[in-house]
Chains A and B, each alone.
Chain A
Amino acid sequence: MFEFDEMQIDAVVAKGRQGLWGPLARAVSLVENSPPWEVSVPRAPRPCHIVGVTGPPGAGKSTLTGRLIESCADAGQRVAVLAIDPSSPLTGGAVLGDRLRMETHLSGRPEVFVRSLASRGSHGAVAGATRNIARLLELSGLFDIVLIETVGAGQTEVAIVEVADTVLLVTVPGLGDAVQSIKAGLMEVADAFVVNMADRPGVRETTRHLRLAAGRANAVYQTVATEGQGVDELRVGLQKRWQDLTEGDRLQELRLHKWSSDASLVAEAWVADCAATMDLEPQDSMHNAVNRILKEAAVRWTQ
């Protein structure tokens, strides 16, 4: 179990203020390489806006994130990005290609911190690690906004973006039906929708579709990320949402609510890790097998 102490954080902050990202990058690795139950990140004195960006593959999330970096940075906001790509379940390796699509928006902006992460390990472990890294970025006080980008293809991704204060679901015209039916879980956690590639046919139907599903007329944005169209409006919308959240107790309530799901994620990761090393008898009943797993997980936890 390790906790970041003040000295470590001070070094991260002092270097980060000069645009030297080495200490922060190493601190992120430390969190990334530890199971979530072994890391304790102290609570930040000042919160920053943690925004999850997700959606189906090919919807233009990385390109949109790149444009958001630009728009936020130009508006004076300090930006960090966590870009998560899947690890191969066979080899554990990964090609992390999101940086490639953001690169043109990074040149001349050394103050922006971008980190690619592979979605190693179990569902709960990835989400837990992402949460801890986001909290570490927040604690550094070096950022006003942290964008977490991940492909929205299943439960793991829902869990990853759920750590965010605001979840953006990015889709494209014509995918409205698919998004609604297949990504039901994502639809429910999304706080705002982006119809990207809005210069393509079908944009009005998709937008209408999403408005109906969202039930909030103002929560659907249209963008053409490759051209930068609509991105400033999206950024202003995000700022407005952050203002709403931070006025009064809404953010506190929101994070308190997420805290319990965070805890259950870590618990889930622990149990999965434990079960992976147990010899379970195939002829055993499911009830007995679960019984053994939970008992063993509890014993190991208290050891």
Chain B
Amino acid sequence: MTAGAERPEAPLKVVVAKPGLDGHDRGAKVVARALRDSGMEVVYTGIYQTPESILRAVVQEDADVLGLSSLSGAHLEYAKELGELLRANDRADVLFIVGGTVPPEDAEALNDYGVHAVFGPGTPTGELVDYIKANARRVGSA
């Protein structure tokens, strides 16, 4: 039953998190704002997060997308652990993105861990927004 026009699809929900000891969160905040401005609902969990706390945020918030920001070089370890946690907790449907200083040669390993896309420094935020809109809620159905 609807009072008005067709109801639009619910906004995408994105968890943006920074794992580990790297406290450089300007990039993550810029991304959070850009996603908000494109109509998404962004839960920013802040710096120094553990894989467990990030997983908890994804599960409790019922997120469609997880964006991990890493500038410390520890992206492989965290992505591997989070990929495993997502699968073990029935959330392999989450679109899993890593951003930050990631050497191109790591992309393949990240893919194996369950990361769907990697965005390096200098990526225009519009590109990120377009990627998320095209792929969120479609993981595994392609």
Binding site for B on A (CB under 8 A): 1, 20-22, 25-26, 28-29, 32-33, 35, 37-38, 87-88, 91-97, 99-100, 103, 106-107, 110, 113-116, 118, 120, 270-271, 273-274, 276-277, 297, 300-301, 303
In the complex, what's the smallest C-beta–C-beta distance from A234 to chain B, in angstroms?
A: 24
Q: Does B130 contact A (CB under 8 A)?
A: no
Query: How distant is the Cα of A277 from the Cα of B56 in the complex, in angstroms?
Result: 39
Q: Does B106 contact A (CB under 8 A)?
A: no
Judge whether B11 and A120 touch: CB under 8 Å.
yes
- Give chain B residues whose Cβ lies under 8 Å from the Cβ of A96: 41-44
Judge whether B5 and A277 touch: CB under 8 Å.
yes
Query: How distant is the Cα of A100 from the Cα of B57 in the complex, in angstroms?
Result: 10
Query: How distant is the Cα of A87 from the Cα of B42 in the complex, in angstroms?
Result: 10
In the complex, what's the smallest C-beta–C-beta distance from A264 to chain B, in angstroms?
A: 15
Judge whether B37 and A91 touch: CB under 8 Å.
yes
Judge whether B50 and A37 touch: CB under 8 Å.
no
Judge whether B10 and A95 touch: CB under 8 Å.
no
- Nearest B residue to A33, CB-CB: B10
Judge whether B4 and A274 touch: CB under 8 Å.
yes
Query: How distant is the Cα of A20 from the Cα of B41 in the complex, in angstroms?
Result: 23
A and B contact pairs by CB, cutoff 8 A, 7 listed: A20-B89, A29-B10, A35-B2, A93-B35, A99-B57, A100-B45, A118-B41
Judge whether B4 and A106 touch: CB under 8 Å.
no
Q: Does B61 contact A (CB under 8 A)?
A: yes
Query: How distant is the Cα of A276 from the Cα of B36 in the complex, in angstroms?
Result: 24
Judge whether A273 and B36 touch: CB under 8 Å.
no
Contacts A25-B61, A91-B39 hold; do A1 and B1 have CB atoms under 8 A apart? yes
Judge whether B90 and A22 touch: CB under 8 Å.
yes
Per-position 1/0 for B10-50, Cβ under 8 A of A: 11000000000000000000001101111111111110011
Instruction: Tell which of A93, A106, A273 touches B11, judged by Cβ atoms closer than 8 Å.
Output: A93
Query: How distant is the Cα of A224 from the Cα of B39 in the complex, in angstroms?
Result: 36
- Nearest A residue to B49, CB-CB: A103
Q: Does B116 contact A (CB under 8 A)?
A: no
The 3 lowest CB-CB distance pairs between A and B, nearest first, are A273-B3, A93-B36, A277-B4
Judge whether B35 and A270 touch: CB under 8 Å.
no
Binding site for A on B (CB under 8 A): 1-5, 7, 10-11, 32-33, 35-46, 49-50, 53, 56-57, 59-62, 89-91
Judge whether A110 and B56 touch: CB under 8 Å.
yes
In the complex, what's the smallest C-beta–C-beta distance from A91 to chain B, in angstroms?
A: 5
Judge whether A115 and B60 touch: CB under 8 Å.
yes
A-B pairs under 8 A by CB, number: 101
Query: How distant is the Cα of A303 from the Cα of B4 in the complex, in angstroms?
Result: 12
- Give chain A residues whose Cβ lies under 8 Å from the Cβ of B38: 91, 93
Judge whether B91 and A100 touch: CB under 8 Å.
no
Query: How distant is the Cα of A25 from the Cα of B57 in the complex, in angstroms?
Result: 10
- Give chain B residues whose Cβ lies under 8 Å from the Cβ of A274: 3-4
Judge whether A106 and B53 touch: CB under 8 Å.
yes
Judge whether A103 and B45 touch: CB under 8 Å.
yes
Judge whether B10 and A32 touch: CB under 8 Å.
yes
Judge whether B43 and A116 touch: CB under 8 Å.
yes
- Give chain A residues whose Cβ lies under 8 Å from the Cβ of B56: 21, 106, 110
Instruction: Tell which of A93, A100, A103, A301 touches B39, judged by Cβ atoms closer than 8 Å.
Output: A93
- Give chain B residues whose Cβ lies under 8 Å from the Cβ of A1: 1
Contacts A22-B89, A91-B37, A103-B49 hold; do A300 and B3 have CB atoms under 8 A apart? yes
Judge whether A21 and B39 touch: CB under 8 Å.
no
Judge whether A100 and B3 touch: CB under 8 Å.
no
Contacts A33-B10, A100-B45, A300-B3 hold; do A93 and B37 have CB atoms under 8 A apart? yes
Judge whether B39 and A92 touch: CB under 8 Å.
yes
Q: Which of B45, B60, B61 has the most CB of A within 10 A?
A: B60
Judge whether B62 and A26 touch: CB under 8 Å.
yes
Q: Which of A1, A96, A106, A107 has the most CB of B within 10 A?
A: A96
Query: How distant is the Cα of A28 from the Cα of B40 in the complex, in angstroms?
Result: 18
Judge whether B61 and A115 touch: CB under 8 Å.
yes
In the complex, what's the smallest C-beta–C-beta distance from B33 to chain A, in angstroms?
A: 7
In addition to A28-B62, A103-B45, 12 A-B residue pairs with Cβ atoms within 8 Å of each other are A20-B59, A25-B62, A88-B37, A93-B35, A93-B39, A110-B56, A113-B60, A115-B60, A120-B11, A270-B3, A273-B3, A300-B2
